[in-house]
């Protein structure tokens, strides 16, 4: 059941409607039932995987708190169970290929059993969420939750179950104690976020993804201009798709009385690649900071160790996204970008060079961030390394002449829609950055405000892609 489907609309209306009618003591069980039903629509067999993960972490956290001498043991049980499930379903095939390649080099090929299992939707998200809970209980930052249903809702609440944000127990669990009937403010803000998220997904991401897939697919021999446009539109597709999901998730959560953290903070308007990673997928970024980067020593280590810490974090981030060499290369490219920027800023500080905060400085920084991100997209959106390298070769070696080259394999009207969708996304984000849309709308008259709502609704209905393309981060 995708967020961009009519089935989800019906589901959300029923979930919110019954939630409003329920007594306070029944709202959590109802939300849990809705969440399990929502996930079972993907694959009801894997629903038991979430139930098992929930039960293990719930039990381990209680024993971590009760049996202090055995706290490390119970933490190990929790982490091993989560990482074990993640490895089995997501990484077994990838590491089997690595073992086979290494043993083949030694003339002793070792073949591991082939497992034809589907990747459970959202497993990377909810395993990281439950691991953070167990670690925080072990560190003494939070108390172990004794109410099983409350903890189960924390793990499996349907708005953020499939693709985040990755919530912390310290933020979400206290909300379960006072889950309330939806008020007018939450209803309005939730519907706005859902509308804007759907606009990003069906008007921007799905409209542009056809061109990106056409150029980056194995069946095309693209011109350099096509490769360039595909790289730029790939970053638009990825942001519109993922941030669109986050907007719908946050808006849907507000409809049932939960407030999730923001997952994006205008990343493409960042001044540097370092600043970008503080604004992009913020819940995952903060997870790696708290549970990997800082335990490794953070930035309070010698320079060589710092670079190694950055490389480890980005390597794990790449593997979190997918079990393939393309994601590893994509992640390490960004590690190189970050380290290079840190070196550059260190040199500037040594020579007392200050670029200031002017408009053109910010514009140049934003363009550089998007150029670096677009360069990495040739590995993010492509399954095979050789195809990625071929695209980079086409980017620099294609002939200057456009004779016989069809830049756009679509009718002119569709091409105009692609550029229009790109403009709308950047314009909307820029206006929101300067002044938040809720404040802008609050200052408008009632007629102008509803005119804006109708424009978004009709744009989704008329320009939006009708096919229900899955969200990109569902595969992670």
pLDDT digits (tens, 9 = 90+) for 115-129: 667 777 888 888 999
Mean of per-residue pLDDT scores for the chain? 86
* 371-383: average pLDDT: 91
Do 296 and 165 lie in one domain? The reply is no
Selected catalytic residue, list 281, 321, 334, 341: 321
Number of structural domains (the chain) is 2
Do 216 and 146 lie in one domain? The reply is no
d(CA 139, CA 131): 12
* 155-179: average pLDDT: 85
- What pLDDT sits at residue 450? 83
Q: Is 321 a catalytic residue?
A: yes
Which residues lie below 8 Å from residue 334, measured CB to CB, with a gap of 6+?
273, 277, 314, 372, 376
Do 465 and 440 lie in one domain? The reply is yes
pLDDT digits (tens, 9 = 90+) for 46-102: 888 899 999 999 999 999 988 888 889 999 999 999 999 888 888 877 788 777 777
Domain-terminating residue out of 179, 201, 235: 179
Judged on CB neighbours under 10 Å (0-12, 13-18, 19+), 248 is buried
- What pLDDT sits at residue 405? 67
163 lies in some domain:
yes
Domain-terminating residue out of 141, 164, 179: 179
Residue 72 domain boundaries: 6-179
pTM: 0.91
- Collapse the DSSP code of 94 into the 3-class scheme (helix H, G, I; strand E, B; otherwise coil) and give the result: helix
Do 41 and 70 lie in one domain? The reply is yes
Do 134 and 170 lie in one domain? The reply is yes
Do 171 and 236 lie in one domain? The reply is no
82 lies in some domain:
yes
DSSP letters, 6-66, are: HHHHHHHHHHHHHHHHS-HHHHHHHHHHHHHHHHHTT-HHHHHHHHHHHHHHHHHHHHHHH
* Number of Cα atoms under 13 Å in the Cβ half of residue 454: 6
Do 246 and 174 lie in one domain? The reply is no
Domain-terminating residue out of 179, 205, 220: 179
Do 128 and 249 lie in one domain? The reply is no
pLDDT digits (tens, 9 = 90+) for 141-154: 999 989 999 999 99
1 lies in some domain:
no
Do 391 and 299 lie in one domain? The reply is yes
Do 103 and 226 lie in one domain? The reply is no
pLDDT digits (tens, 9 = 90+) for 421-473: 889 889 888 888 877 777 777 778 888 888 888 888 888 888 777 777 888 88
229 lies in some domain:
yes
Residue with tokens 């550089």: 368
Do 190 and 131 lie in one domain? The reply is no
Do 175 and 190 lie in one domain? The reply is no
């Amino acid at each position: 059941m995708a967020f961009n489907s009519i089935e989800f609309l019906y589901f959300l209306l029923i979930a919110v409607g019954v939630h409003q009618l329920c007594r306070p003591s029944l709202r959590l069980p109802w939300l849990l039932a809705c969440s399990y039903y929502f996930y079972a629509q993907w694959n009801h067999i894997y629903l038991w995987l979430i139930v098992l993960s929930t039960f293990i972490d719930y039990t381990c956290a209680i024993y971590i708190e009760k049996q202090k001498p055995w706290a490390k043991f119970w933490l190990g049980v929790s982490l091993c169970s989560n990482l074990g499930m993640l490895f089995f379903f997501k990484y077994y095939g990838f590491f089997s290929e690595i073992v086979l390649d290494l043993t083949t080099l030694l003339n002793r090929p070792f073949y591991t059993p082939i497992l034809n299992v589907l990747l459970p939707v959202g497993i990377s998200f909810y395993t990281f969420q439950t691991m953070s809970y167990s670690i925080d209980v072990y560190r003494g930052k939070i108390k172990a939750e004794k109410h099983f249903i409350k903890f189960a809702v924390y793990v499996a609440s349907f708005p953020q179950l499939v693709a985040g944000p990755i919530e912390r127990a310290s933020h979400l669990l206290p909300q379960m104690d006072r889950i309330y009937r939806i008020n007018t403010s939450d209803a309005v803000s939730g519907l706005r976020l859902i509308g804007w998220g759907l606009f990003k997904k069906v008007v921007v991401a799905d409209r542009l993804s056809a061109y990106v897939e056409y150029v980056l697919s194995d069946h095309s021999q693209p011109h350099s201009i096509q490769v360039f446009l595909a790289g730029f539109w790939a970053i638009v597709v990825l942001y519109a798709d993922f941030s669109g999901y986050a907007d719908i998730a946050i808006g849907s959560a507000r409809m049932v009385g939960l407030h999730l953290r923001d997952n994006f903070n205008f990343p493409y308007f960042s001044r540097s690649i370092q600043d970008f990673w503080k604004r992009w997928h913020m819940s995952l970024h903060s997870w790696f900071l708290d549970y990997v980067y800082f335990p490794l020593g953070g930035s309070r280590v010698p320079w060589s160790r710092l670079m190694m810490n950055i490389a480890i974090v980005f390597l794990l981030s790449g593997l979190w996204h997918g079990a393939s060499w393309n994601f590893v290369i994509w992640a390490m490219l960004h590690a190189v970008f970050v380290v290079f920027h840190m070196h550059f800023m260190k040199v500037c500080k040594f020579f007392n060079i200050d670029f200031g905060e002017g408009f053109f400085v910010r514009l140049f920084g934003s363009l550089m961030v998007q150029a670096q991100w677009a360069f990495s997209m040739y590995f993010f959106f492509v399954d095979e390394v050789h195809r990625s390298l071929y695209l980079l070769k086409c980017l620099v070696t294609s002939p200057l002449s456009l004779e016989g080259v069809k830049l756009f394999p679509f009718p002119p009207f569709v091409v105009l829609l692609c550029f229009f969708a790109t403009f709308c996304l950047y314009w909307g984000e820029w206006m929101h950055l300067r002044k938040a849309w809720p404040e802008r709308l609050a200052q408008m008259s009632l007629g102008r405000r509803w005119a804006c709502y109708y424009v978004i609704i009709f744009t989704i209905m008329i320009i939006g892609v009708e096919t229900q393309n899955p969200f990109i981060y569902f595969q992670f």
